[in-house]
């Protein structure tokens, strides 16, 4: 539900004159969610302007005049494009600095949802457009108590999925001499189903060279057997099958055999040290009350891998926001792929998942970090993996 008082308080704290929310046929899902229109299929452009002080203003098309009626404020209805442009100008009368879903130079495409032409229109009225990135976080990516509880419940199930997968691998190899990536994937999916969880996509189960592909997707055409002596990476994510549920997202590695070869242990230890450096950076900032942005955490993690000489094999950001989508709309842990300058906020969750990807194999260690309402930093999803897990068969 749209909370006008909270939004206006946030605008005043940010020293913005207002927030101009705009959408056309779903191109700005962030604006849709903020105002509660994500379930409506509207066919015409709409604008909703929330000033830092005073009454909001709505601009809707004559064919959908009631589209914004559930929101507070006065309404103007347009038909012609000229009336739309005049209506936008009227919405912004007196404003100098207005937030929109925009990122300078598209440095953060997760925020940039407003098209260039609409930005030109707004700027033509003498308005400076600033990014609504942190506003989006506050009103879209933060969790309430119910979502926090659902995440922790899902985290128990995702953590338990590893025991299920390891036992399945052991049983299959003992009985048949081998199993396969797809078979393990299907067993994990059955575990999720049995425990009331859902996921947008099946987990990654990558053996040997497939573990060196960060987004490998097991499929029957490329399925490979898993046997004694194999190294396997398992990346899985799920949420409770309930409205507004949020994800848990974890990655661990396993060796099928009693003793892990040194080549795997060496790379795992570097990745784990990078993961732990990122966690420490977050805990230190919140303990001191310092402002922390996503790129700072990425840098702390990436420095460890680069100093170990494997920087070129760490090909992705350190982590992503987690929400109702596994890749959520809050601050990501990224100084590589995007310029993530959004603050890490309380009541948000994100992954930390450094990896080193070599042609022969890859190691990733992924955990989730949740910042509670008091600034407490929680690693969810069970104990940290401190060594490559072994399966004795």
Q: What are phi and psi of 12, to 5 degrees?
A: -65, -40
Same CATH topology for 4-140 and 149-391: the answer is no
Q: What integer pLDDT is reported at residue 222 of this predicted model?
A: 84
Q: What integer pLDDT is reported at residue 209 of this predicted model?
A: 97
Q: What integer pLDDT is reported at residue 83 of this predicted model?
A: 98
Q: What integer pLDDT is reported at residue 121 of this predicted model?
A: 98
Domain ranges of the chain: 4-140, 149-391
pLDDT tens-place string over residues 329-356? 999 999 999 989 999 999 999 999 999 9
DSSP strand pairing (321-322 vs 225-226): unpaired
Domain 4-140: what homologous superfamily? Creatinase/prolidase N-terminal domain (3.40.350.10)
Q: CA-to-CA distance for 255 and 35, rounded, in angstroms?
A: 48
Q: Are 63 and 71 in contact (CB under 8 A)?
A: no
Q: Are 330 and 323 in contact (CB under 8 A)?
A: yes
Architecture of domain 149-391: Alpha-Beta Complex (3.90)
Q: What integer pLDDT is reported at residue 40 of this predicted model?
A: 87
Q: CA-to-CA distance for 130 and 126, rounded, in angstroms?
A: 13
pLDDT tens-place values along the chain, 393 residues long: 899 999 999 999 999 999 999 999 999 999 999 999 988 889 999 999 999 999 999 999 999 999 999 999 999 999 999 999 999 999 999 999 999 999 999 988 989 999 999 999 999 999 999 999 999 999 989 999 999 999 999 999 999 999 999 999 999 999 999 999 999 999 999 999 999 999 999 999 999 999 999 989 998 988 999 999 999 999 999 999 999 999 999 999 999 999 999 999 999 999 999 999 999 999 999 999 999 999 999 999 999 999 999 999 999 999 999 999 999 999 999 999 998 999 999 999 999 999 999 999 999 999 999 999 999 999 999 999 999 999 999
Q: What are phi and psi of 362, to 5 degrees?
A: -140, 150
């Amino acid at each position: 539900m749209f909370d006008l008082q909270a939004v206006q308080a946030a605008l005043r704290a940010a020293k913005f004159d207002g927030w101009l929310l705009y959408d056309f046929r779903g191109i700005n899902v962030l604006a849709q969610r903020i105002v509660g229109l994500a379930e409506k299929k509207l066919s015409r452009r709409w604008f909703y302007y929330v000033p830092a002080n005073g009454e909001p203003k709505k601009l809707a098309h004559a064919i959908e005049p009631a589209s914004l009626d559930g929101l507070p404020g006065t309404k103007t209805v347009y038909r012609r494009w000229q009336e739309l442009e005049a209506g936008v100008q009227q919405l912004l009368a007196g404003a100098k600095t207005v937030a929109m879903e925009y990122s300078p130079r598209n440095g953060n495409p997760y925020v940039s949802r407003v098209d260039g032409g609409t930005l030109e229109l707004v700027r033509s009225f003498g308005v400076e457009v600033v990014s609504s990135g942190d506003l989006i976080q506050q009103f879209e990516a933060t969790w309430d108590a119910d979502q926090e509880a659902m995440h922790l419940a899902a985290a128990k199930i995702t953590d338990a999925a590893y025991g299920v997968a390891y036992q399945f691998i052991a049983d299959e190899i003992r009985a048949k001499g081998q199993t396969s990536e797809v078979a393990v994937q299907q067993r994990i999916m059955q575990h999720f189903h049995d425990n009331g969880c859902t996921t947008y996509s099946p987990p990654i189960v990558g053996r040997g060279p497939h573990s060196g592909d960060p987004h490998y997707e097991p499929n029957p055409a490329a399925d490979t057997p898993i046997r004694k002596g194999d190294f396997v990476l398992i990346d899985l994510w799920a949420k409770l099958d309930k409205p507004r549920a949020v994800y848990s997202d974890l990655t661990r590695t396993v060796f099928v055999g009693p003793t892990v070869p040194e080549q795997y242990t060496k790379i795992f230890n570097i990745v784990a040290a990078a993961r732990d450096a990122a966690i420490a950076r977050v805990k230190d900032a919140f303990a001191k009350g310092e402002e922390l942005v996503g790129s700072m955490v990425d840098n702390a993690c990436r420095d460890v891998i680069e100093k170990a000489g494997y920087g070129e094999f760490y090909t992705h950001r350190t982590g992503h926001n987690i929400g109702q989508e596994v890749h959520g709309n809050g601050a990501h842990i990224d100084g590589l792929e995007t310029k993530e300058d959004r603050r890490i906020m309380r009541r948000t969750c994100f992954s930390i998942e450094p990896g080193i990807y070599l042609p022969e194999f890859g190691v990733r260690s992924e955990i989730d970090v949740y910042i509670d309402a008091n600034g407490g930093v929680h690693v969810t999803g069970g104990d940290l993996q401190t060594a490559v897990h072994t399966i004795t068969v």
